[in-house]
Structure 1
């Protein structure tokens, strides 16, 4: 997958490649100053400052140690498609977090007032709290079934 294909896959219009370290830093700061969220992919010593300052830094696993330390996400393969998979996985994880918050708030907002007002037996309210935890845990385990979307 080349740079333009990767840009299309992650729905980006602009990709900067083959820049010097100083040019990378300037472009990164310019984009961030204009309110853009910046993802940076690198693997070398000269990429480490940009990886550290980007909103999300992706390092390729076989790269220099300083690049791996500076990045937010380390890709285990040298495949650029792993960037798309990492973004996909993070979106799936955020969806699960939101769903789990809904479950927890639903049970607590409904169960605590009903138990406090005496409409629900405290034993039943305690069981509902345990069920809430089971629902959150079970929902989170669905992430084990997540697989990256096939790249075209």
Structure 2
């Protein structure tokens, strides 16, 4: 072993993260899917506000004057039906099942409240943001319908 190799310390092996530490690292806003949607909407030349507190559900993107709102939902947190990213937790199901069900119910109530206020609402799922072409097509369709 050379003198240089002797000076190099061994890499410290980190303990696996606990469930609490994992959950603490999950962001609620400015997520990667949300940022992709924002970039594409901005690239289309459409103006919006983010996380508008005045509207039900605090949509991720919204324009009150044009009366539209976009929610970017994580497939797991909002229980996207038929999506591989929306796995059902195998541990502590007594906690997770009601929590995820409440999320779905709250989302439906928020969309209904926005519709009642005259807003057009688009829900974009995390899995949709993985394919930029599909996401762009979905956004174009939404904004063409709004302007019609």
Instruction: Tell me if both proteins adopt one fold, taking TM over 0.5 as the criterion.
Output: no
Task: Compare the two structures and name the one with the higher helix fraction.
Answer: 1
Higher-RCO chain (CA-CA 8 Å, sequence separation at least 6):
2
Shorter chain as normaliser: what TM range? under 0.3
Normalising by structure 2, report the TM-score.
Answer: 0.23
Q: Which has the larger radius of gyration?
A: 1
Normalising by structure 1, report the TM-score.
0.23
